[in-house]
Structure 1
Amino acid sequence: MLSHILRPLLVLWLFLAAANASLLSPRAEVNGACTGSGGAPGVCISTSNCSKAGGTSVANKCPGTPDDIKCCTKTTCGTGNKGNCRFTSSCSSGNTESNECPGPSDFKCCMPAGSGGGNNPTLPSTSSGCKKVAINGAKAIIDAFPGKVKSIGCIRKCSDPSSSDHCVGMATDMMVSDGGVKTTAGEPIAEWVMHHASSLSLKYVMWGQRIWNPSDGVKPWSQWRYQACTVIKPCTHGDRGSVTQNHW
């Protein structure tokens, strides 16, 4: 039986290497997305605008922006305080309330809190061999997109440990559809990962036959470079011949 770790739809390669920290500093944008304490979704705005709307400002989460721009989060909002503030693109329920959150018009109160159409998957454990930096990255992603990720893979047994970061527990696979079928659901997640490369200690992310790493600079998924050919050589547009190998 093919395990989910061998059917990746969104592959996130995470690493911890202080010597390479200079490579992991993508600039944030004012009114852009950020991640606050505990993985809470946030928006980069001024501290005054954040406090006026009842939000909490978190420092050092919006690199490259003016000093007064901080990551603003608001973890309770809406009717009965059952919602949380996030960009509408990550509110899976589609049920939002306006005039409850700081920031731009598309940063709204998502009802109910933790909406996403299902339970979050079980995170890998360090006892399995998965490294903490990879687990922390996976947790941040499922917190930002509740209910979107179906399962998470990490460690993989390999005859050659140097052949893949999975062999040493430094990479995670995110399944975003049932049955390994092609889907577009991973695109916003992949771009979110790109925007949060620094906080995730990201090496690179693969989705939909394309790959991105921090040295490429922030750009839409459609402008990411194609993944390298593996079994099929040469291949066109990174097409390795299957949904699994193409990271859909």
Structure 2
Amino acid sequence: MHSPLYLLALAGISSAYIGEICGGPSAGGYGTCEETTSWCKPRGGESPSGYCPSDPDSVRCCIYPICYNEDYYNGKCVDTSEYNCASTGGYLQAGLCPGPNNYEAS
């Protein structure tokens, strides 16, 4: 039988980490868990609550425009495994988004 302290320690392991993909259609898009004041707001991001539930209140899912294409349309960071940018005439740019390698700017 495990002690309550051991179980509390395990509960802390489930929290999201900075840069983890979050959100979805109900959030208005996908983003990453980021510090809202120091990281998301300065980049023009939106940070709906409830998508990084195990983190402190200062960490929320940051959904933000990250790049511009040649026509100056805002792009967003997307999960390349779930979004086919080429099907809409767009392209992806690696290295502009926080998070894992499959998270790129459209």
Q: TM-score, normalised by structure 1?
A: 0.28
Which of 73, 82, 102 aligns to 1:81? It is: 73
Which of 40, 51, 59 aligns to 1:50? It is: 40
Give the share of equivalent positions with the same residue, in percent.
30
User: Matches of 1:51 and 1:89 in 2, distance apart?
Assistant: 27
Q: Which runs of 5+ in 2 are unaligned?
A: 1-13
Task: Give, as a single letter, the amino acid of the residue that structure 2 aligns with 1:74.
Answer: Y
Return the structure number with greater helix share: 1
Is 1:29 the equivalent of 2:25? no
Map of 1:1-248 to 2, 5 A cutoff? 27-35=15-23, 38-47=27-36, 48-75=38-65, 77-79=67-69, 80-93=72-85, 95-98=91-94, 100-101=96-97, 103-104=98-99, 106=101, 107-110=103-106
Return the structure number with greater strand share: 2
Q: TM-score, normalised by structure 2?
A: 0.57
Q: Which runs of 4+ in 1 moved over 3 A?
A: 26-29, 36-39, 98-101
- Count of equivalent residues: 84
Q: Deviations over 1:36-91 (max 9, x none)?
A: 66431111111121223332222222011133211000257421225322233333
Q: Which runs of 5+ in 1 are unaligned?
A: 1-25, 111-248
Contact 1:75–1:84, Cα closer than 8 Å, also in 2: yes
Task: Give, as a single letter, the amino acid of the residue that structure 1 aligns with 2:42.
Answer: K
